[in-house]
Chain A
Amino acid sequence: MGLDLSDSLNKHVLLVDDFANVRKSIKSMITSIGLRNVFEAAHGNEATRIVREQKLDIVMCDYNLEKGKNGSQLLEEWRKRGWLSHETIFVMITAETSRDRVMGTLEFQPDDYLAKPFAMDTLKQRLVRWMDRQEELRPVNAALDKGNWAEVAKMCRDLIKSKSRYRSWAQRKYHQALLKLDRLEDATKFLGIVLKEREYPWARLEVHRIQVARKELPKAEKGLRNLINKEPNLIDAYDLLAQVQNMLKQPEHVQHTLEQALERSPLSIPRQRSLAKVATGNGDLATATRAYKEVVNLCEGTMHDAPDVYKDALRATRTRMALETNEAQRRRLRLDAMTYLKKLMKNFPDDTDADLVSRAYRSFLNDPQDTRARADGFIKELAQKASRKMEELSQDSAVDIAEIIYEKGENELADELIDKLRDYHRSSKAFLERLNQVQTEPTTTAESREKAHHMNIQGIEHYKKKRYTEAVGQFEEALELSPRHPGIILNLVQSSLLEVGTGSPTKQRLDQCVELVKRLSYLPRDHYQYDRYLTIRSKLNDLTDGAVIAQ
């Protein structure tokens, strides 16, 4: 390979770096080598615009860009959205010492790295190398751009056979193509040949990927654990293992695996979100809120920036605030929530769903400076708006809003909203159940729910043994924790009426029962306690000459 660049002088190069003097010095090197067409971009948006408008041969992008953004996020977005042709060589410019810490674990690997500072000779040599590569792989890359996997497979096999210097790249692409073509048998055979030559970690990982595709989950799980043990920096292996553990319904293991991966490669937004989600499900709200905080920090200005990020972060933070007893910690969580809310409002001003959720959170957070949100009628307006825009409201957002309205003590407004939601979503059984749950236990945390459930069971034990006074005590305590729970309310009323034995209950006791049963006026007809509710209500009506007005 000589240093003859004469064929390449009309190639197009894009330089991305937020420092003007760095761009200037690299550009002067490139032009002194003889390449004339050099574009410059100071930040991501500008770079993206150029990538979409120009046909580029080489992109040289600094890893560290403005405001905590990095070159890897750009590469990810360009590749995912198909804006960057595979024919374009993407080179990541890095500070030498950070390379092994950050770069090895990136999901989207560039075609080459260049450690800065670099000398003219080095750059010249690399330019020749990149263009040679571009030339030799052009047909394969064109097929990749078109998504023509049969063609990719065929050409990669030729590269491997001819012992091209790009054969290890070709091996991976060949395997990827076989997977895309659903030729699992051939892929397995091919990996066998590769692994016979050497125990390549990537090939071993792909063996397990095929096992997952074939639903050989325990085998894949064991194999992946071994692989991670030997190759702790093979980040893709953690993601696949988490996927397997998820399929095996082991959410605690999923969380552990994701945490390990994030320890080594903390900058992946999808992985941080998965962790937040699984930790929420596991009831580990500390981990969930921490992960959401990371997601919010990382995602602004990237392709992952979406209202859901902030809504999920707000939900997790709100849930944790309800459980947090430490006042200082609660204040910190509240500040986090304020930040998420501001970003949600600022980044998505035209999104109706985001607008309604923001209003709910403005009310929830009760910022003294937000006088609009503290004014009378704000919640009522929110509830009405939400009812009118049902078609633009996601299920999660609807639940958030209803929960906050309950939290604010506006049960009637919330019940009305829930009724409308129930009607609008009547075909979704799962959501109807969720609405029932929200309505019966709107402000109850998972922890209290658990406790209330436990006390309720103890109360039932007493009831069965006809120890009605003890039963009443247990049900009352349970109801403190979960004030709208139909089962507990009906149990309490039933035991109260029996507590006095054969004598008739006092006026005071009856009034209390009436008040309790009235709490259940929201109960939908398809609720499993509805028939029991009717029975007890009519009995109470008999005893009180119709104090519980029939609906």
Chain B
Amino acid sequence: MNKLELDMNTIMASTVHDVKNALSLIDDQIRDVMAEVEQASPEGAAYLNRIRLETGRINNDLVHMLGLYRMHHNTFHPSFDDVPVEEVVQDASSRYTESLAALGIELNIEMEDRDCVWYMDPALIESVLANILTNCIRYTKDRVDVQVAERDGGLSIRVIDNGEGYPEKMLNFMGTEDEQGDVNFQTGSTGLGLFFCYQIASLHRNGKQHGTIKLSNDDQGGASFELWLP
């Protein structure tokens, strides 16, 4: 690694770190204001809640940017371990406890085996799930389901909402450029997020298999995101 690249790496990391700290401060303060105005103006509180979700989104985008930058420059070092899946799912969803409550969205976590342990980088998988959850919160009607189960010899984590479902073009996000249409995952925030999720999933390997993600629309119409890890 040459000197310039090393510096760029540090600059990226420090900037992201700094902006994240600022965001967290903003988030804390909005939360305090929300608590104050909740009684007097429920509408105002709802607006503030939207702002909080946006800070969460900026946060995720920064993590994606830094992660992808590091992957591109081979300075990305995932650290895999066997971890309790429930803890990872909880860590991802606990970021949104208040937002979910404020928007009246019900979150259900369903685990086939609560003591299920899987081999992964817990921080990365947490950020993938957090990323998907922000999307769900924006597009769902009033419910998000997380289902964890073993499937095809791997671990399947599905995040399902009861909104309008993914647009047709997005379902083919892994297809050719024509099929992808506007959501070519090299462009746009949603695309970048999915690209990041896909990259993270495929870093998880076992023998010849590697992890993947799959978008579909649920039978009841909502959007379904599945992360599968070998």
Contacts and interface: CB of A to CB of B under 8 A. Distances in A.
A104 B75 CA distance: 13
Contacts of A545: none
B95 interface: yes
A129 B115 CA distance: 13
Nearest to B83: A168
Interface in A85-106: 95-101, 104
Interface stretch (A116-124, A281-289, A462-470, A515-523): A116-124
B119 A198 contact: yes
A56 B25 CA distance: 31
A164 interface: yes
Contact of B97 (A98, A101, A121, A167): A121
Contacts of B66: 97
B168 interface: no
A271 B25 CA distance: 40
B119 A121 contact: no
Contacts of B87: 129
B123 interface: yes
Contacts of A104: 77, 79
Interface stretch (B16-24, B133-141, B211-219): B16-24
A79 interface: no
A100 B79 contact: yes
A122 B95 contact: yes
A143 B13 CA distance: 42
Interface string B58-102: 000000001000000000111101111011001100110110000
Given A104-B79, A164-B115, A167-B117, A95 B94 contact: no
Interface in A125-177: 125, 129, 163-165, 167-168
Contacts of A117: 21, 24-25, 28
B115 A163 contact: yes
A115 to B, nearest CB: 8
B117 A122 contact: no
B98 A168 contact: no
B79 A97 contact: no
A233 interface: yes
Interface in B26-78: 28, 66, 76-78
B188 interface: no
A135 B123 CA distance: 25
Nearest to B12: A97
Contacts of A233: 77, 79
Given A97-B16, A167-B117, A122 B94 contact: yes
Given A121-B94, A199-B207, A100 B24 contact: no
Contact of B82 (A98, A122, A168, A199): A168
Which range holds the interface residue count of chain B? 20 to 34
Given A164-B115, A165-B117, A125 B90 contact: yes
A199 B206 CA distance: 8
Nearest to B115: A165
A65 to B, nearest CB: 18
A163 B13 CA distance: 39
B32 to A, nearest CB: 12
Nearest to B25: A117
A117 B18 CA distance: 11
B17 A165 contact: no
A79 B82 CA distance: 23
B94 A165 contact: no
Nearest to B96: A121
B82 A99 contact: no
A456 B17 CA distance: 64
Contacts of A125: 90-91, 94
A104 B121 CA distance: 11
B90 to A, nearest CB: 6
A165 B77 contact: no
Nearest to B80: A201
A98 B21 CA distance: 13
Nearest to A118: B24
A168 to B, nearest CB: 3
A97 B91 contact: no
A99 B87 CA distance: 18
A68 to B, nearest CB: 18
B24 to A, nearest CB: 4
Contacts of A121: 94, 97-98
A168 B83 CA distance: 8
Nearest to B123: A99
Interface in A54-99: 95-99
A98 B17 CA distance: 9
Interface string A226-255: 000000010000000000000000000000
A97 B206 contact: no
A167 B119 CA distance: 12
Nearest to B76: A100
Contacts of A122: 91, 94-95
A114 to B, nearest CB: 10
Contacts of B83: 168
A206 to B, nearest CB: 15
The 4 A-B residue pairs with the shortest CB-CB distance, nearest first, are A168-B82, A165-B115, A104-B79, A165-B84
Given A96-B17, A100-B77, A119-B94, 8 more contacts: A97-B20, A104-B77, A117-B25, A121-B94, A121-B98, A165-B116, A165-B117, A200-B119
Interface of A: 1, 95-101, 104, 117, 119, 121-122, 125, 129, 163-165, 167-168, 198-200, 233
24 contacts: A96-B17, A97-B13, A97-B14, A97-B17, A97-B20, A100-B76, A100-B79, A100-B123, A101-B77, A104-B77, A104-B79, A117-B24, A117-B25, A121-B94, A122-B91, A125-B90, A125-B94, A165-B86, A165-B117, A168-B81, A168-B82, A168-B117, A198-B206, A199-B207
